[in-house]
Amino acid sequence: MIKKILLPALVLLTAAFTAKEPQPLYKNKNAPVESRVQDLLRRMTLQEKVLQLSQSYAGNNNNENNKDENIKAIPDGIGSLIYFGSDPVFRNKIQKKAVESSRLGIPIIFGYDVIHGYRTLYPVAIAQACSFNTDLAARAAAVAAKESKLSGIDWTFSPMIDVARDPRWGRVMEGYGEDPYTNARFAVASVQGYQGNRLSDPYSIAACLKHYVGYGLSEGGRDYHYADVSPQSLWETYMPPYLAGVKAGAATIMSGFNDISGIPASANHYTLTEVLKNRWGFKGFVVSDWGSVEQLMNQGVAASRAEAGQKALMAGVDMDMTDRVYQENLAQLVTDKKVPLSRVDDAVKSILRIKFQLGLFEHPYTTVLPESERYLQPEGKAVAGQLAEESMVLLKNLNQTLPVKNTIKQIALIGPMANNREDITGSWSAQGRSKDAETIMEGLQYEFGSNTHFNYAKGADFDGTDESGFKEAVAAAQASDVIILCLGEKRAWTGENTSRSVIELPAIQEKLAETLKATGKPLVLVLNNGRPLGLAKLEPLADAIVEMWQPGLAGGTPLAGILSGRINPNGKLAITFPFTTGQIPIYYDMRQSARPNSGLYQDIPTTPLYWFGYGLSYTTYQYSNIKLSAPGITKNQKLIAEVEVSNTGNMAGKETVLWYITDPAASISRPLKELKYFEKKQIEAGKKSIYHFEIDPMRDLSFPDAGGHLHLEAGEFYLYAGSQKIKFSLK
């Protein structure tokens, strides 16, 4: 009898010891992502879930001896780290701990601000927008993705697609300017560039649309400030780039620091959950901005860190960037029933989903290659150079001062930017090194060769009152036939937390220009900056002006090519240059005024110095024969527009046609004009090209109301391309 009972028990016991536990479903790479997510979630403890929702950082110290200390300090099971290092070995070591020593082996997702390149820096975003070449921007993002991936980065906090109309705000350099449509196009291009065809491709990284939403509107251009925006304007202007980025498949989105009319962006249930997740069906995850959960207390909507965490999570913020609010409070909030577990689970699922899609469970480690194979590869540098070339904008060219005549053999090269390797790269330069950057002087010397002599003098610094260098600068000018004066902003003058009360360059730079002008020599002004500048004083002093922006590491050669005439400039401004600071706000798609010719400033011109879309070329283009496939359409039809552009000059060039639509009467007043499409093409000298635009009524003629619902109203519309204008109707 005893034997009868013992035997089966013994068999069972032996089986339990010998049978291997089957591989958990979540580890099966062939199982559908959603099943893997569900399987993993059901195995997780509350504490493990909370850690998945938390982001910390690593690698910011370069002391070899402390690196292990640093690893120990990272909480076991953390969901994400911002990785400030660039060493894949160190990154893999941290990852190994997560994958091999944590209970469930969930890999960490490593993020970083790869804004305009990782090591191969290309032009800052505002410059890229002026290229109106989204293919190039996508290729540059792909270069950045590859360099990042090879350094252990799975996720970039880019693109920034905050429509920005106040150049006092230092972050204008990070975005694509004042126009919603341009921001939307570049959002799509960057997402495609970073993420490639599939997130799991070897060189794809996850993109992050930021800073959702309205951050570009921070009052008075003061960073981190309140953004007062009507619901209709929010939909009209600030939401469209985000919708485009979400549709393009962006894996993540960052909630902003700003307060949107009283409800901070990081506690905003309407924008984050009702719109982004429910209406738009966003399936990735929302990360807060650095400390923006904790800051809800500063913004006056939370009395404690716990309350801040509760508000952010319930609004829709899935991952908490660095302030440890979730880490320290969420478990208790769940226990106290202030946060339902189902919301925690949703947030965890959204993060796990991206980790599975990135292939992190199968390939948690970065391939380790020598730096020489990771960075600064020729094809990447070529893209950076091409993008820099197409970003530069010729703003003035009196009497064909440019290109510099090849008979000129003495050129004065003056100014704080002329021989500057630091500031040319721009803010947010990730792992870029100034030593990799080409200076203006190097570009010019290479371009013009040894037959041309450059008389260099710095003349003055960016700021301050020291005029002691003026004398040398004047002598250099006097010894030359033309002056190339390189002025601008230090790179730390734009980027985060770099608001400025005036957008004019410091007086010392203006005074240097005045002093040089007095020599009577032709003056070419080259500008290196991250925001539109107030040029009311400088513009009249210059015979020619080239806006080179902050081109990254490959700007010297393209600038030199423009100055020599090897390259025909083709950038157009993606942001208006106000006449003076006091003219802000001014942007091309303003709403209509009750008295369009009155109510204007009495002391300055009524128009800005340069409007959005402005940019000169060494050739001339003539726009003609604008046509439509029909004089009118119904709401379900499409209208094909075309315009002929002839290159009537002597040099081949690239011309971007900007198609605008005006709706003169609607139930909600429309902007004066709205950009609806752009296309850039090469046109040989003496040749013409036909540009097309297919008007889709719902996409191009509708407008949102305060709830974001689109209205399509019958009526008359105008279409513009260059000097051409044509009327059509919608029935």
Binders in 2-21 for ligand BGC, by CB under 6 A: none
Minimum CB separation of residue 261 from ligand BGC in Å reads 20
Distance CA(690)–CA(116), nearest Å, equals: 33
> Nearest-CB residue to ligand BGC?
157
410 SS3 class:
strand
Site string for ligand BGC, 164-183 (x = CB under 6 A): --------------------
Residues contacting ligand BGC: total by CB under 6 A: 6
Identity of the residue, 118 or 157, whose beta carbon is nearer to ligand BGC in the bound complex: 157
Tokens of 701: 């003629």
Which residue is listed with tokens 């035997």? 7
Query: 272 or 586, CB closer to ligand BGC?
Result: 272
What kind and span of H or E run contains 444? helix 440-448
The 3-state secondary structure of 363-430 reads CCCCCCCCHHHHCCCHHHHHHHHHHHHHHCEEEEEHHHCCCCCCCCCEEEEECCCCCCCCHHHCCCCC
Shortest approach of ligand BGC to residue 105 CB, angstroms? 27
Pick from 48, 166, 259, 289 the residue near ligand BGC by CB under 6 A.
289
Which tokens in the block code for residue 468? 């002691």
**Using the rule CB under 6 A, which residue among 113, 178, 307, 447 binds ligand BGC?**
113
If the CB atoms of residues 210 and 421 are measured against ligand BGC, the closer one turns out to be 210
CA 165, 194, 145, 130 torsion-angle sign? negative
User: Closest approach of Cβ 210 to ligand BGC, in Å?
Assistant: 6
Q: Note if 323 is an active site residue.
A: no
Least separation in angstroms between residue 116's CB and ligand BGC is 13
Which residue carries 């009972």 as its tokens?
5
Of 57 and 610, the one with the shorter C-beta distance to ligand BGC is 57
For the segment 661-690, give every residue that binds ligand BGC (CB under 6 A).
none
CA atoms within 13 A on the CB side of 495: 17
Number of other residues whose CB lies within 10 A of the CB of residue 43: 12
Q: Which C-beta is closer to ligand BGC: that of 210 or that of 381? A: 210
Task: Say if CB 651 and CB 568 are below 8 A apart.
Answer: yes
Min separation Cβ 319 and ligand BGC, Å: 12
Residue 293 CB, nearest approach to ligand BGC (Å)? 13
* Shortest Cβ 119–ligand BGC spacing (Å): 17
Give Dmax over CA atoms of the chain in angstroms.
118
Instruction: For ligand BGC, give the closer residue by CB, 57 or 356.
Output: 57
> If DSSP codes are grouped into helix, strand and coil, which group holds residue 414?
strand
Strand partners, 54: 320
Query: Does residue number 655 form part of the binding site for ligand BGC (CB under 6 A)?
Result: no
Give the span between the Cα atoms of 504 and 706, in whole angstroms.
36
- Whether the CB-CB separation of 719 and 728 falls below 8 Å is answered with yes
Q: Output 208 or 360, the one with its CB closest to ligand BGC.
A: 208
Q: How far is the CB of 327 from ligand BGC (least distance, A)?
A: 17
Which residues touch 695 (CB under 8 Å, ≥6 apart)? 633, 638, 639, 640, 641, 661, 676, 701, 719
Q: Which helix (H) or strand (E) holds 347?
A: helix 341-357
For ligand BGC, which residue of 176, 181, 186, 290 counts as binding (CB under 6 A)?
290
SS3 of 660-687: the string is: EEECCCCCCCCECCEEEEEEEEEECCCC
- Which CA distances in Å does 211 have to 148, 216, 315, 353? 21, 9, 15, 22
In the complex, least distance from residue 323 CB atom to ligand BGC, rounded to whole angstroms: 11
Nearest to 357 by CA among 245, 242, 246, 195: 195
11: its two tokens: 């068999």
The nearer residue to ligand BGC, 290 or 462, going by C-beta atoms, is: 290
The residue among 146 and 211 lying less far from ligand BGC, judged by its C-beta, is 211
CA–CA dist 348, 328 (Å, integer): 16
Radius of gyration, CA atoms only, the chain = 28
470 three-class SS: helix
Per-residue DSSP letters for 484-520?
EEEEE--GGGSSTT---S--BPPHHHHHHHHHHHTTT
For ligand BGC, the closer of residues 126 and 333 by Cβ is 126
Q: Could you give the CA distance from residue 621 to residue 623 in angstroms, rounded to a whole number?
A: 6
State the residue for tokens 């879930």: 49
Would you count residue 496 as binding ligand BGC (CB under 6 A)?
yes
To the nearest whole angstrom, how small is the minimum distance from the Cβ of residue 115 to ligand BGC?
Answer: 8
Q: Does 157 bind ligand BGC (CB under 6 A)?
A: yes
Side chain identity at residue 292, one-letter code: S
Tell me which of 154, 162, 289, 700 is the catalytic residue.
289
Q: Within positions 321 to 380, which residues make up the interface with ligand BGC, using CB under 6 A?
A: none
Site string for ligand BGC, 207-246 (x = CB under 6 A): ---x------------------------------------
Task: Convert residues 546-565 into a mask of x (bound to ligand BGC by CB under 6 A) and - (unbound).
Answer: --------------------
Where does this chain bind ligand BGC (CB under 6 A)? 113, 157, 210, 289-290, 496
Active site residue ranges: 289
